[in-house]
Amino acid sequence: MTGGKVLLEVKNLKQYFPIKGGLIGRTINHVKAVDDVSFTVHEGETLSIVGESGSGKTTIGRSIIRLEQANGGSVIFDGEDLLSLSNRQMRKKRKDIQIIFQDPYASLNPRQTVYQIINEAMNIQGVGNKSERRQDILNLMETVGLGAHQIDLHPHQFSGGQRQRIGIARALSVRPKLIICDEAVSALDVSIQAQVLNLLKKLQRKYMLTYLFISHDLGVVRHISDRIIVMYLGKIMEVSGKKDLFETPGHPYTYALLSSIPSTKPTGEKKERIILHGDMPSPITPPSGCPFHTRCPYAFSACDKTLPPFYEARENQQVSCHLLKKGPVDFTELRKAEDF
Amino acid sequence: MEKDKDIVLQVENLQTSFFTEDGELKAVNDVSFSIEKGQSLGIVGESGSGKSITSLSILRLLTGTTGKIIGGKILFKGEDLTTFSEKKMQSIRGNRISMIFQEPMTSLNPTITIGEQIAEVIRGHQKKDRKSAWEDAVKMLSGVGIPEPEKRAKQYPFQLSGGMRQRVMIAIAISCQPELLIADEPTTALDVTIQAQILSLIKKIQRRSGGALVMITHDLGVIAETCDAVAVMYCGKIVEYASVAELFESPKHPYTMGLLNSIPSHETDSEEDLYIIDGQVPSPYELPNGCLFAPRCPYAKEICQNALPELLNLYGNRLVRCHMQQTEGRELEHDRWKSPSGS
Amino acid sequence: MLIFIVRRLLQTIPVLLGVSLVVFLMIHLMPGCPARAMAGEAADPAQIEIMREQMGLNDPVLVQYFRFISRALTGDLGTSVVSGRSVVDEIFEARFAITFHLAILGTLTAVVLGLIIGIVSATMKDSFLDVLLMLVALFGLSIPNFWLAILLIIEFSVNRGLLPIVGWGELNQMILPTLTLGISGAAIIARMTRANLLDVLSQDYIRTARAKGAGELIVIYKHALRNALIPVITVVGLQFGGLLTGAIITETVFAINGMGRLIMQSITQRDVIMIQGTVLVVSILFVAVNAIVDITYRLVNKRVDLN
């Protein structure tokens, strides 16, 4: 899967949100939502970004398609830096990059029919032949599992899962190369979530799509991704292939995150739990050094002083943690030895 | 029976309906279960299954909605709560039966200090003056793991994180040592690392107090983590009841099987598609005539379309509402789910 | 918080400057010349010219404006063209106290009536009483002040002879004007209290309060009302500010010598200096009350949302 052509390269992306205050409302501080983040997405793969609320994962997606104006860095898509395009050029680029949001209802115009919603997207990007438009839209609807008889219905006449399908059909209609799925299945019940996940996989195979999949649900992420980025307080903790991340997590935060998820395995191998203490610190005043050190059970003297560089834990697994200076760490063994 | 003494709550044929402009909505439709001292029962279901309405019905908290309990009994320590006066219910709520709600952000009063919100329950149900109720409140805060409880007690909800607020909710709920604690999606709005903290706190409290716990959630993982027994609800009815271990090991109802199979696991790799349950939950105004799950069920036969199956006791409190289990009494082949029928 | 207060107070400066400019320009835009009014109808052009010179009306407009401002800052708003009395003295020695008194009584009436009606209505939502009260409130809101005043006079003074028609000072003189002013305010407050209370009663924390075993009275008065009344504070404040600037119609109908009647009299008498001074004072009062309301709202509300 990896090793394909690089489709998207994010370099040193910074997204700060100003906090106004003081007498004349000047900027007194920043929320560093995304702080110096770099990664690449290869053609045809699914790269997921996971993290808890406040980690900055959603902001990354919004910065890439310039729903937010990034404060620094570059976003190279298909050889062009999106951040340096004019607004007009960027509008054209949006044909190649589509985004699907968590709440399909809020992102669909309630006064439009399915036909109008999809037609509008195609018109703006000038896709397809107008005379065959209706047929194209019917085909799209069939692809995403909506019936032809539903073409003139309005969003409120659909269920949540079906609305998400409309959102997917709209995104697909302009034949994008990259689709950013921002918590796209989070609001759905599990049985519907499974339907939409299967659909996304089917479409990826059919159209050679590339996904940047943003989610807090590690089960979903394990199911759909090839590679995964773990974020904490606006910084990347770990970038890893799927298998390595779940079987031999490289970063203590990843390990804690995985062990926090309630297991549905019936009996027997109940895993050893790590329960992190306290809350995530405020992104306005992030801790010095490694942002995770305030909650990390393994933190030592170096951790609050310098931000750890990325160490290669395994092939395809980069981890930002001082513990890895002398090579990868097996946390399960470490816990047995230390008995927390 | 000797054992009956330990039964804290016994719900019998509970029916709760909402009366809206579109007609009667049977949110809870003939639900029965019981729970013993020290036991934790999970009620799991998707949105619209009636699980939350069941919990609100137990405490008779449907005020301000069009919902009404229209049938059945709710026996709490042998007394039927549905016959209680409002005044008598008030002496039960927060005292002998408590509830933790889903949204920690909106479930606390924004203009009252946290300490007072706890002390208020203590004063309401126990004969304590302001000062000692406040002292108790501070103790409760430290008991649920809130650092600097004296300082925190004087703060307002907006000054606390989501996880902290849920701890406060728990402190409120357990401040009168209730015999029954109902937790309605207590961790749904929280991040996983915080969810782990809260679940372990709830378990610890239950172990210490020996009370009964009803855990209402859509998340089977939370059930596996915290419960002994579990009832699966679908469209207002219980479709399966089992011990947690049995439910996960050998689900008997096709809906439960489908549900378990459609959760993407973080513990196993799969390159295959997820198993899926076709279609969607029927509209509560147009429920099917026969088995409620029949329109989505890969095993459905003619009888399933026509007659509602009874909740059959397979063996020792292992209940399932399915014709296939009743007429043939055989194991449904689990692999019927392995052929996802497109989308 | 202190920063907010200072910022809010600083914001009033440009507003006040704007107000003073508008008030000042009124004189120049109004038909008729103040000098002619002062000199009297019979004055000949030469006398008027002398008058203009004395009043500084021949100087450039900008110079006149700065003179107006700098005098105003020292508390000198000129003297009445008609009575020759100092504007500041006229307002603060004779008129302001009456208007202030009337505004307080009117606001109190509005708050007491409005809260009672609003709370009763919300707690008995959709009952006959609720519908009736809201209908009454709608009437109170729609009925013009002068008409209400006249109706009250006809009923209580003319027909029954219970209360005097005009004047201010005796308790029985205060009842009708207070009612006239209070009723429309009460209607607004009642409707707002009802709407807010119903909104708050559907909040999650109200369900929590009930789940704690709180009785209905505690739920409403301790948990719901506090939160429901926060937006009402703003309305009450603004109404008070409005009344403070003089209830022109009510004061005129009941012949009460307050600020409102002063403005009315000055207008009919073409007393430009008096109009200018009174309108400026009234505007400053209004801006000040507004700022105080904003700050109070923020103080009460800071616990709800900091951002």
Cα separation, B163 vs B194, in Å, equals 6
> Chain A contacts of C7, Cβ < 8 Å?
23-25
Chain segment B159-172, per-residue pLDDT in tens: 898 889 999 999 99
Chain segment C83-138, per-residue pLDDT in tens: 888 888 888 888 888 888 899 999 999 999 999 999 999 988 888 999 999 999 99
* Minimal CA separation from C214 to chain B, in Å: 6
Query: Across residues C137-147, what is the average pLDDT?
Result: 89
What domain range is B119 assigned to? 110-175
- Evaluate if residue C307 carries a pLDDT over 80: no
Query: Across residues A276-291, what is the average pLDDT?
Result: 88
**For residue B339, what pLDDT is reported?**
42
**For residue C86, what pLDDT is reported?**
87
* Minimal CA separation from B116 to chain C, in Å: 11
Query: Across residues B95-102, what is the average pLDDT?
Result: 93
Amino acid letter, C249: I
Inspect the interface and report whether the beta carbons of C213 and B125 lie closer than 8 Å.
yes
Nearest 5 degrees, angle CA A240-CA A234-CA A43?
Answer: 40
Inspect the interface and report whether the beta carbons of B120 and C303 lie closer than 8 Å.
no
- Evaluate if residue A156 carries a pLDDT over 70: yes
Average pLDDT, chain A: 88
CATH, domain A6-96+176-250, list 3.40.50.10700, 3.40.50.1820, 3.40.50.300, 3.40.190.10: 3.40.50.300
Cα separation, B143 vs B175, in Å, equals 10
B222 within a domain of the structure (yes/no): no
**For residue A289, what pLDDT is reported?**
92
| A6-21, strands of its sheet edge to edge | A26-42, A6-21, A72-77, A80-81
> Chain B contacts of A217, Cβ < 8 Å?
264
* Two structure tokens written together for A200: 């996304």
C35 within a domain of the structure (yes/no): no
- Evaluate if residue B100 carries a pLDDT over 70: yes
Is the CB of residue B103 less than 8 Å away from at least one CB of chain C? yes
- Reported as a pLDDT band with limits 50, 70 and 90, residue A36 is very high
State how far Cα C145 lies from the chain centre.
Answer: 14
> Chain A contacts of C3, Cβ < 8 Å?
21-23
Inspect the interface and report whether the beta carbons of A22 and C3 lie closer than 8 Å.
yes
* Minimal CA separation from B285 to chain A, in Å: 15
C243 within a domain of the structure (yes/no): yes
C278 within a domain of the structure (yes/no): no
**For residue C270, what pLDDT is reported?**
80
Query: Which parts of chain A are beta strand (E)?
Result: 6-21, 26-42, 46-50, 72-77, 80-81, 97-100, 178-182, 210-215, 227-232, 235-241, 310-314, 317-320
Domain boundary among B142, B175, B208: B175
CA-nearest residue to B108 within chain C is C205
Chain segment B293-343, per-residue pLDDT in tens: 999 988 888 888 998 998 888 888 889 999 887 655 455 555 555 444 433
Chain segment C208-241, per-residue pLDDT in tens: 999 999 988 899 999 999 889 888 888 898 888 8
Cα separation, C294 vs C171, in Å, equals 33
Query: Across residues A128-133, what is the average pLDDT?
Result: 81
- Evaluate if residue A105 carries a pLDDT over 60: yes
**For residue B13, what pLDDT is reported?**
95
* Minimal CA separation from B245 to chain A, in Å: 5
Task: Compute the residue count for chain A.
Answer: 340
Measured CA distances, B262 to B13, B257, B340 (Å): 30, 9, 10
Tally of domains within chain B:
2
Q: Specify whether the CB–CB gap between B8 and B76 falls below 8 A.
A: yes
Helix crossing, A190-207 with A160-173: angle to 10°? 20
State how far Cα A160 lies from the chain centre.
Answer: 21
> Chain A contacts of B340, Cβ < 8 Å?
198
> Chain B contacts of A218, Cβ < 8 Å?
192, 266
- Evaluate if residue A219 carries a pLDDT over 60: yes
Q: What is the DSSP-derived secondary structure letter of residue B187?
A: T
Q: Among candidates B212, B165, B194, which has minimal Cα distance to B34?
A: B212
pTM of the model: 0.83
- B333 compared with A202, residue with greater pLDDT: A202
Q: Looking at the partner chain, which of A21, A23, A25 has a beta carbon nearest the beta carbon of C6?
A: A23
Query: Across residues A257-279, what is the average pLDDT?
Result: 75
Q: Which long-range contacts (CB under 8 A, 24 or more apart) does B329-336 make?
A: B331/B250, B332/B252, B332/B254, B332/B257, B332/B299, B334/B257, B336/B298, B336/B299
- A3 compared with B258, residue with greater pLDDT: B258
Q: How many CB atoms lie within 10 A of CB C23?
A: 20
CB-side neighbour CA atoms (13 Å) of A311: 15
C28 within a domain of the structure (yes/no): no
C301 within a domain of the structure (yes/no): no
Average pLDDT, chain B: 88
Q: Looking at the partner chain, which of C215, C230, C306 has a beta carbon nearest the beta carbon of B90?
A: C215
Question: Per mean pLDDT, which range of B72-81, C17-26, C41-50 is the poorest?
Answer: C41-50
Q: Among candidates A163, A47, A182, which has minimal Cα distance to A102?
A: A182
**Helical residues (DSSP H) of chain A, grouped into ranges:** 57-64, 87-93, 114-125, 133-143, 160-173, 190-207, 218-224, 242-247, 252-260, 331-338
**For residue A46, what pLDDT is reported?**
95
B328 within a domain of the structure (yes/no): yes
Query: Across residues B278-285, what is the average pLDDT?
Result: 83
- Evaluate if residue B2 carries a pLDDT over 60: no
- Evaluate if residue B4 carries a pLDDT over 60: no
Measured CA distances, C79 to C90, C92, C281 (Å): 9, 14, 14
- Reported as a pLDDT band with limits 50, 70 and 90, residue A273 is confident
- Reported as a pLDDT band with limits 50, 70 and 90, residue A27 is confident
ipTM, 2 decimals?
A: 0.85
Average pLDDT, chain C: 85
CA dihedral C62, C64, C65, C71 (to 10 degrees): 150
**For residue C306, what pLDDT is reported?**
39
Which site among C212, C226, C303 would you substitute to test the B interface, given the most B Cβ atoms closer than 10 Å to its Cβ? C212
The proportion of chain B whose per-residue pLDDT surpasses 70, expressed as a percent, equals 93
Inspect the interface and report whether the beta carbons of C211 and B124 lie closer than 8 Å.
no
**For residue C64, what pLDDT is reported?**
84
Amino acid letter, A201: K
Tally of domains within chain C:
1
Query: Across residues B107-135, what is the average pLDDT?
Result: 93
What backbone torsions phi and psi does residue C94 show, to the nearest 5 degrees?
-110, -45
Cα separation, A138 vs A130, in Å, equals 13
Inspect the interface and report whether the beta carbons of A275 and B273 lie closer than 8 Å.
no
> Chain B contacts of C204, Cβ < 8 Å?
101, 103, 106-107
Burial class (CB in 10 A: 0-12, 13-18, 19+), B295: middle
* Minimal CA separation from C7 to chain A, in Å: 6
- Evaluate if residue A267 carries a pLDDT over 60: no
Neighbour subunits, C (≥3 Cβ pairs < 8 A): A, B
> Chain B contacts of A161, Cβ < 8 Å?
280
Q: Specify whether the CB–CB gap between A308 and A320 falls below 8 A.
A: yes
CATH number assigned to the domain comprising residue C179:
1.10.3720.10
- Evaluate if residue A252 carries a pLDDT over 50: yes
Inspect the interface and report whether the beta carbons of C212 and B121 lie closer than 8 Å.
yes
The proportion of chain C whose per-residue pLDDT surpasses 90, expressed as a percent, equals 21
What domain range is C161 assigned to? 95-270
Domain boundary among B158, B175, B192: B175
